[in-house]
Amino acid sequence: MKIVKGVKFVYQPTPRTLELISKFRDMVNDAIRICLTENIKGRLKLRNRIYKELQVRYGVLSCFPYCVAEVAWSIVKKHKRWHRKPYAKRLMFKMDAANFSLNYSVLTLPFKKGESIHIPLKYGEYQRSFLMDKTLKRGSVTMTESSIVIAFSKEPPVAEPSKKVGYDLNEKSVVGSDGTRHDLSEVARLHTLYGVRRSRFYERHAYDRRLRKKFAASRKEKERVNQALHRASTLIVEKARANREVIVLERLKGIRHAHKRGNGEGKAKRRRIALWPFRQLQSYIDYKARWAGVPVEYVSPSYTSKKCNVCGCINRKLRVTDRSWLCPCGAKLDRDLNAAINIERRGKTPCLGEVRPGARGTYEAVKGNETTMAPILRAEASKSDLRLP
């Protein structure tokens, strides 16, 4: 199965590129109109119908009608759910891999006979790693007024997984059943900080629509939270790839219902939990893992923190605020690690060197690992940086 990843680049728009995108949008709208008035059923029929006409009308190369038909047809197909007539509003341009060329960071798009448009892409380390990777295939290119997204694809490497690692996502950290810990207290802190700032702001400027709009659009908080989530998810997936792990996560349904009013938590904490981007972190882990060929499995979240991983008894009295507890069986349990171990055990993906010794032994061994894990991860991160030319 092929996996595709869209990589976003920034570029400097010129009158030529703007002409190209607005022409493309006009062609798409022409195609949609033709499709509807002549009741054309099928992408290929639409393509054949507009092939000559658009070439003549807009003076473009023959590859354009093909790409226009793709975009127009997908809009026509979607429009049944719309309340308005199908119409391509946004300025955009899309072309498949066969028609453009990418030479390092210069994108060359065909335009008219004997005329191409060369666009130098701006890139950072992340984008560069895609441009330089010769094993990746290029898919379509999508261009708007401000950005260009190029799809890269590859066959994921297939490696037999050797073990499972469960991850407990909680308010302040991500804890792995192998003892790894990623601190995310910054995310909680940012939410509190900006939450206070936001409520004060709205108190002061409750009736100023212009200012409110401006404030709502400030993306600083989101960006900083995203950075923290990207950092943690990258490290988790990198480690999983290097050690051939299966990542086991909780199915996050109704996680926020667990933190309802009247459960003993303060208002501020419930607010943070409600805003904590669990889903976002999961989706980051999920797509990065797919790209790296790391399997991800989702398991039932019931009682993962209340069940003792040694004897299996359930501590119904465990409160959300308890960070650790003592089980009647004698096990001293760290709340998050215990949950991560339970999550890992629910995973069903078969693994090669699966070791299932006495649960207590595993717990002890895992505990010892906690401190040694972090430097290894850091070493890996710097190694992958070096690989870039």
Catalog residues that contact Zn ion under the rule CB under 5 A.
308, 310-311, 327, 329, 331
CB of 355 to Zn ion, least distance (A): 21
3 vs 359, beta carbon nearer Zn ion: 359
Tokens representing 205 are 């400027």
159 vs 329, beta carbon nearer Zn ion: 329
Query: Please, are residues 271 and 195 in contact by the beta-carbon 8 Å criterion?
Result: yes
CB of 249 to Zn ion, least distance (A): 24
CB of 370 to Zn ion, least distance (A): 21
247 vs 308, beta carbon nearer Zn ion: 308
159 vs 313, beta carbon nearer Zn ion: 313
CB of 312 to Zn ion, least distance (A): 7
CB of 166 to Zn ion, least distance (A): 18
Strand partners, 166: 248
CB of 307 to Zn ion, least distance (A): 9
184 vs 327, beta carbon nearer Zn ion: 327
Which long-range CB contacts under 8 A does 88-91 form with residues at least 24 apart?
Answer: 88/25, 88/28, 88/29, 88/32, 90/25, 90/144, 91/18, 91/21, 91/22, 91/25, 91/144, 91/145
143 vs 310, beta carbon nearer Zn ion: 310
CA distance 270 to 177: 26
Neighbours of 43 (CB within 10 A): 16
76 vs 327, beta carbon nearer Zn ion: 327
Burial of 126 (0-12, 13-18, 19+ CB in 10 A): exposed
CA distance 354 to 161: 9
CB of 200 to Zn ion, least distance (A): 47
- The two beta strands, 245-250 and 163-169, are parallel
42 vs 330, beta carbon nearer Zn ion: 330
CB of 303 to Zn ion, least distance (A): 13
Beta-carbon contacts of 221 under 8 Å, excluding residues fewer than 6 positions away, are 190, 191, 194
CB of 248 to Zn ion, least distance (A): 21
Query: Please, are residues 323 and 334 in contact by the beta-carbon 8 Å criterion?
Result: yes
Beta-carbon contacts of 148 under 8 Å, excluding residues fewer than 6 positions away, are 8, 9, 10, 11, 107, 119, 121, 141, 142
Cα–Cα separations (whole angstroms), residue 39 to 32, 53, 55, 73: 10, 17, 21, 12
140 vs 342, beta carbon nearer Zn ion: 342
CA angle 375, 387, 153 (to 5 degrees): 110
User: Would you state the torsion angle of the CA atoms of residues 232, 236, 242, 248, taken in this order, to the nearest 10 degrees?
Assistant: -170
CB of 255 to Zn ion, least distance (A): 25
Tokens representing 118 are 């060369």
Strand partners, 110: 116
- Among residues 329, 343, 350, 301, the alpha carbon closest in space to that of 178 is found at 343
310 vs 337, beta carbon nearer Zn ion: 310
